[in-house]
Amino acid sequence: MISIIWGGTYFLASQEHQRDYDVAERQGANLTRVLDEYIRRVVQETDSALLALRQSCQEDPQHFDITRWMTRSRSLAHLTLQYGIANSDGFIMQSSHGPLSSPIYVGDTAHFKFHVENETDQLYISAPVIGHVSGKPAIDPHDRPRSLQAS
């Protein structure tokens, strides 16, 4: 009789364990889909914002003010730490943080080198870095810098 009770207890515990495992697996899959959609939306919005920045800069590159542009287009203000425009020599000439006391060199970074070495007009997202201007951890999405380079 005792062995039947223990056998029944083991059987019920196994079923409960499997049920809990299946529920956890479904919840994990659901969270993965939600995170995937969120990241996809963030990347698409970042790319759109960078395209808008490029278009605004191209309209009047000599008088373009990135700080003013940033205050007018707050589409990613909660996600964006800083925008910057670098020239072809790798120096940030304008920053959305305001005027720079001197140009900041980013020509040795992976995200800048990617666009120097590749002719593709595409978004590139770097590995996490410490921002040259902000000093805070960030990822650098860089989009099509050739068309933003100062002449």
Q: What is the CATH number of the domain that holds 68?
A: 3.30.450.20
* pTM exceeds cut of 0.75: no
Count, residues in the chain: 151
Query: Which DSSP string do the residues of 18-34 spell out, in sequence order?
Result: HHHHHHHHHHHHHHHHH
The token pair that represents 138 in the structure block: 């960030």
- Interatomic CA distance for residues 46 and 80, integer angstroms: 8
Contact 92, 106 (CB under 8 A): yes
Number of structural domains found in the chain: 1
Residue 149 pLDDT > 60: no
Residue recorded with tokens 């309209």: 59
What residues are paired with 142 via a beta bridge? Answer: 124
- In this predicted model, what pLDDT tens digit does every residue of 52-71 receive, in sequence order? 888 888 888 888 888 888 77
pLDDT band at 145, cuts 50/70/90? very low
Contact 105, 91 (CB under 8 A): yes
Residue 80 pLDDT > 90: no
- Interatomic CA distance for residues 45 and 25, integer angstroms: 30
How confident is the model at residue 10, as a pLDDT? 83
pLDDT band at 91, cuts 50/70/90? very high
**What range does the domain containing 37 cover?**
1-151
Share of the chain above pLDDT 90, in %: 11
pLDDT band at 24, cuts 50/70/90? very high
Ramachandran region of residue 15, left (φ > 0), alpha (ψ -120 to 50) or beta?
Answer: alpha
How confident is the model at residue 118, as a pLDDT? 83
